[in-house]
């Protein structure tokens, strides 16, 4: 089995999720010797490096790829997978270069046009699900006037644990996620941030650029609602990889979400799609779906930006710290689809196949 034959077989298999073959993706590395004209090779070991979390995909792809080799009369082949999350930085000229951000591969803003649509809860569950998928995740609570992530994370911090070297801050680890919030820096949970826009923007920049984030695959940013100073500061000072828009079907929420989309479009931030929260309610008596905010209000919004998920109203979310068991797979699937959308944006389609000499 020669390298050329292996490459030809791999070009005929398209990745289940990205829709491209692995040679085109530049994802193939042959680790063990293969045959030459005068030598019979060992059972080849092939390493596939993929730009998305492998927790869900590893078994699915491994089975399909093995079957693909069998169909091409290759009975023995060792396939290993390597998770190699790609950094998507569409606007490098805007990135504020600090050591604290250099190892952060992707920064995803979760935004809404109005408050009360569940943006913070969704940010939390996305970060938690991404971590469960095997990604290195951070969560920045950028909602300066209404920081709520510490409550959702059920985490507390003291200044001694936050203060780092050289005027930096240490993130607070919670549920395997690196987190930072203004709530950690205030005296207590009842202290409001009664600040003008400039002061709030400065506080946000300090949390973004002075936190020792370390190596992260994804930094989820829980944005404040609306399109004000803080949003503009973040978009202009940080090279956001992409944005997610959260809304409900209510007309006023949709109007606000449309403004948010327009803001990101003007600032050249890619939009991954819309999450319509509180879309419907499932009656526990008859199991039928009911739509308290009506249907169709988000149609234009979804046609423009695409839909990522429609999430139900559920009393189980009142606690905020744990999604209902019945929706765990929903959150994992949603988080994985977001990773795939980012991967599709970042794919560098340069055909290359690497052969290790050792």
Q: pLDDT of 83-100, one tens digit each?
A: 999 887 644 544 455 777
Q: Let me know whether 217 and 108 are in one domain.
A: yes
Number of domains in the chain: 2
Q: Please give the residue that has the higher pLDDT: either 50 or 316.
A: 50
With CA atoms as reference, report the closest residue to 155 among 169, 141, 144. Answer: 141
Q: Let me know whether 96 and 178 are in one domain.
A: yes
Q: Let me know whether 80 and 101 are in one domain.
A: no
Residue 10 lies in a domain: yes
Evaluate whether 130 touches 56 at the Cβ level (below 8 Å): no
Q: Let me know whether 152 and 301 are in one domain.
A: yes
Q: Please give the residue that has the higher pLDDT: either 192 or 63.
A: 63
Residue 328 lies in a domain: no
| Pairwise CA distance, residues 54 & 51, whole Å | 9
Share of residues in the chain with pLDDT > 70 (%): 85
Residue 140 lies in a domain: yes
Q: Give the CATH number for residue 121.
A: 3.40.50.300
Residue 332 lies in a domain: no
- pLDDT at residue 29, as a whole number: 86
- Full domain range(s) for residue 38: 3-84+347-355
Residue 38 lies in a domain: yes
Residue 330 lies in a domain: no
- pLDDT at residue 354, as a whole number: 44
Q: Let me know whether 27 and 77 are in one domain.
A: yes
Sign of CA dihedral 342, 344, 345, 350: positive
Evaluate whether 212 touches 241 at the Cβ level (below 8 Å): no
Q: Let me know whether 71 and 199 are in one domain.
A: no
Q: Let me know whether 105 and 178 are in one domain.
A: yes
Beta strands in the chain (DSSP E): 28-30, 45-50, 78-83, 107-111, 137-141, 172-174, 177-181, 218-222, 242-247, 271-276, 281-282, 289-290, 307-310, 353-355
Q: How far does Cα 264 stand from its chain's mean position?
A: 17
Q: Let me know whether 172 and 44 are in one domain.
A: no
- Asked if pLDDT for residue 171 goes beyond 90, the answer is yes
| Pairwise CA distance, residues 110 & 221, whole Å | 6
Q: Residue 52: what are its φ and ψ, rounded to 5°?
A: -145, 160
């Amino acid at each position: 089995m020669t390298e050329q034959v292996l490459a030809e077989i791999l070009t005929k298999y398209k990745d289940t999720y990205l829709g491209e073959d692995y040679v085109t993706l530049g994802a193939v590395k042959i680790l063990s010797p293969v045959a030459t004209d005068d030598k019979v090779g060992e059972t080849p070991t092939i390493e596939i490096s993929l730009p998305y979390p492998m927790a869900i995909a590893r078994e699915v792809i491994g089975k399909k790829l093995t079957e693909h080799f069998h169909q091409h009369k290759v009975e023995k082949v060792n396939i290993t997978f390597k998770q190699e999350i790609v950094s998507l930085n569409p606007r490098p000229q805007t990135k504020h270069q600090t050591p604290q951000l250099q190892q952060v591969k992707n920064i995803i803003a979760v935004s809404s046009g109005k408050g009360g649509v569940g943006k913070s809860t969704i940010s939390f569950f996305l970060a938690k699900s991404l971590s469960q998928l095997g990604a290195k995740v951070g969560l920045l609570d950028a909602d300066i006037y209404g920081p709520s992530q510490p409550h959702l994370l059920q985490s507390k911090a003291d200044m001694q644990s936050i203060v780092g070297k050289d005027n930096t801050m240490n993130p607070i680890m919670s549920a395997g996620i690196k987190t930072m919030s203004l709530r950690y820096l205030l005296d207590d949970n009842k202290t409001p941030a009664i600040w003008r826009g400039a002061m709030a923007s400065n506080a946000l920049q300090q949390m973004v650029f002075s936190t020792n984030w370390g190596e992260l695959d994804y930094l989820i940013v829980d944005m404040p609602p609306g399109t004000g100073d803080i949003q503009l500061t973040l978009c202009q000072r940080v090279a956001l990889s992409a944005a997610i828009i959260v809304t409900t079907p209510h007309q006023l929420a949709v109007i606000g979400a449309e403004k948010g989309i327009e803001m990101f479009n003007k600032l050249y931030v890619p939009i991954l799609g819309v999450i319509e929260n509180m879309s419907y309610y499932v009656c526990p008596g008859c199991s039928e779906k009911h739509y308290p905010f009506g249907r169709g209000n988000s149609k234009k919004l979804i046609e423009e930006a695409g839909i990522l998920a429609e999430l139900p109203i559920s009393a189980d979310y009142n606690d905020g710290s744990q999604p209902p068991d019945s929706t765990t797979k929903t959150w994992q699937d949603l988080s994985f689809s977001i990773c795939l959308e980012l991967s599709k944006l970042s794919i560098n389609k340069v055909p290359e196949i690497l052969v290790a000499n050792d």
